[in-house]
Structure 1
């Protein structure tokens, strides 16, 4: 049942009571919290609207985090559905994930070209079969082997419905056609946005799939002009403003076009927050960032939750 958010809480708690209760263990026997045993903070777009509606900026927007590579933490490796669930135990989040393609053209979640850093396998993703990848386990960022498997893009798209918004980072070896095909096949157009790094790529993707939202790098006034020259409608754009904080006036220029801004705090700005205190995340939001793309989504979300408006038109997207 959907209810409006009537207080300054950023999040609405959702308990997945119908899911089976199981416990996961790492290979060494240590327990990992099972997402099916946990409360979750979810976003629902089904029957309410779409990503286009959600990303239509307004002054009562709810500031959010985007979990870079899904938000890995100790025991929870990058680009794993269990990791996405772990983040959603603490905060609603946009989930940023990476897609590569196997030798037999299966789309899997993987950031690197090779398998060695994130799995117990070897070789290039593009040179092995999906059958081989199915036999592997993911490792966390400390190199600890888990019991978690490499997901396919299709599994992630199906999982995310009524849970989170996705941004899909497409590796250079993956044909756009394959991504669009799976988004359409799973009817994920309403909650999956595609990440682009150049204006020609954004223009090509928009031509191929005009219904999809695009994350486009826009860091200055010249790049605002270049986006407008592509004739991609602003209501199909989320502006990734780079890895350095932008002037308030620049963020306001994007807001005037009703565009959400994503500030990449991963890297130096996340490190600054660790060193100087997490309140720095709140200052980024106060300066006009709407979404913080971060390697520390749980900490960043905690720091910005008090900045949510007491009443928001976006509240309808949070479900109980």
Structure 2
């Protein structure tokens, strides 16, 4: 009898272990499954072309940092990617030995355990540093290379790459080519001239162009960049309705930077404010509060029964 009971206990334990293994396997799969089903860059063009049923998105500014999750860290990107289809805005700097890494500041002090200019250190020196979170607390996370970010992000996120002033666009384009990441990258530009430069280097890549008024739009038009290669950053305040209508008529989606005052309005008045920005013509919200913004967009998407063939 005791032997029979012992056998039952062993079988029960074995089944429990199998169940735990299966649960862990499901979690692992959920973390690594593809989010954006882009088979080619043409799918990215289509997904980011405006129509009345466009799927609004959140862009996590500097990767969406919060407590224990530093800015420009792959671990922070992964946290957001597990929960929702996300655009990750991140920053590209260059080390002394010409390695492209993700970091916003030229100086190391604010976001890492290092000191001095990033351009004064080799990547082997940079990679030994730890990243700090939004409170300044040191984490176990390290500074990632652009190459590692592009490799990890394929199918999981869309990147908007903020290329800092001392970084040649050609190096960034080469990194995108090497990672075969064309279908999940947008390069940020700050003037029509910069947009034209990127387009001449890589006519197939998507560009985020500063278009805050009709004059900006006219200057950009002189570079003959196809409309389906452009998303328009309209600034950190809501754009004039006439500009939004003109951009939408060209199939160009808008990015509204809620960082700063508009994020504060949402914090003060409730996260439903983010949905109101979408109602008034924004298509992508670049925010320091991606989790709160997504709550509003989830409700907006569900209420309007929006979907996309490129999303699960």
Measured against the shorter chain, the TM-score band is 0.7 to 0.9
Indicate conservation of the 8 Å contact 2:59/2:88, yes or no.
Answer: yes
How far is 1:277 from its partner? 1.2
Could you say what the CA RMSD is over the residues aligned between the two structures, in angstroms? 2.0
Which residue is equivalent to 2:118? 125
How far is 1:263 from its partner? 0.3
CA distance in structure 1 between the aligned counterparts of 2:253 and 2:168, rounded to whole angstroms: 27
1:180 matched to 2:173? The reply is yes
Any unmatched runs of 5+ in structure 2? 1-22
1:257 matched to 2:257? The reply is no
Which residue is equivalent to 1:3? none
Which residue is equivalent to 2:16? none
CA distance in structure 1 between the aligned counterparts of 2:218 and 2:112, rounded to whole angstroms: 42
Matched residue pairs, number? 288
Question: Counting helix residues as a fraction of each chain, which structure ranks higher?
Answer: 2
1:111 matched to 2:101? The reply is no
How far is 1:202 from its partner? 0.8
CA distance in structure 2 between the aligned counterparts of 1:198 and 1:119, rounded to whole angstroms: 30
How far is 1:156 from its partner? 0.6
Which residue is equivalent to 1:192? 185
Which residue is equivalent to 2:271? 278
CA distance in structure 2 between the aligned counterparts of 1:65 and 1:126, rounded to whole angstroms: 31
Which has the bigger relative contact order, CA under 8 A and spacing at least 6?
A: 1
CA distance in structure 2 between the aligned counterparts of 1:178 and 1:208, rounded to whole angstroms: 10
CA distance in structure 2 between the aligned counterparts of 1:37 and 1:47, rounded to whole angstroms: 23
Query: Secondary structure of 2:197's partner?
Result: helix
1:298 matched to 2:291? The reply is yes
How far is 1:232 from its partner? 1.3
How far is 1:303 from its partner? 0.9
1:71 matched to 2:64? The reply is yes
1:243 matched to 2:236? The reply is yes
Which residue is equivalent to 2:19? none
Distance 1:55 1:37, change over 3 A: closer
Which residue is equivalent to 1:140? 133
How far is 1:219 from its partner? 0.9
CA distance in structure 2 between the aligned counterparts of 1:263 and 1:149, rounded to whole angstroms: 30
Which residue is equivalent to 2:82? 89
How far is 1:58 from its partner? 1.2
1:310 matched to 2:300? The reply is no
TM-score relative to the length of structure 1: 0.85
Distance 1:286 1:17, change over 3 A: farther
Indicate conservation of the 8 Å contact 1:44/1:164, yes or no.
Answer: no
User: Rg: which structure is higher?
Assistant: 2
CA distance in structure 1 between the aligned counterparts of 2:210 and 2:175, rounded to whole angstroms: 24
CA distance in structure 1 between the aligned counterparts of 2:203 and 2:295, rounded to whole angstroms: 35
Provide, for residues 25-81 of structure 1, a one-character-per-residue CA deviation record: whole Å limited to 9, x for no partner: xxxxxxxxxxx8859882221369432121111111111100000000100000001
Distance 1:69 1:269, change over 3 A: same
CA distance in structure 1 between the aligned counterparts of 2:247 and 2:104, rounded to whole angstroms: 30
1:54 matched to 2:47? The reply is yes
Provide, for residues 189-243 of structure 1, a one-character-per-residue CA deviation record: whole Å limited to 9, x for no partner: 1111100001111111111111100000101112111111221111111000000
Indicate conservation of the 8 Å contact 1:66/1:293, yes or no.
Answer: yes
CA distance in structure 2 between the aligned counterparts of 1:299 and 1:41, rounded to whole angstroms: 23
Which residue is equivalent to 2:157? 164
How far is 1:89 from its partner? 3.1
CA distance in structure 1 between the aligned counterparts of 2:30 and 2:154, rounded to whole angstroms: 19
Indicate conservation of the 8 Å contact 1:120/1:145, yes or no.
Answer: yes
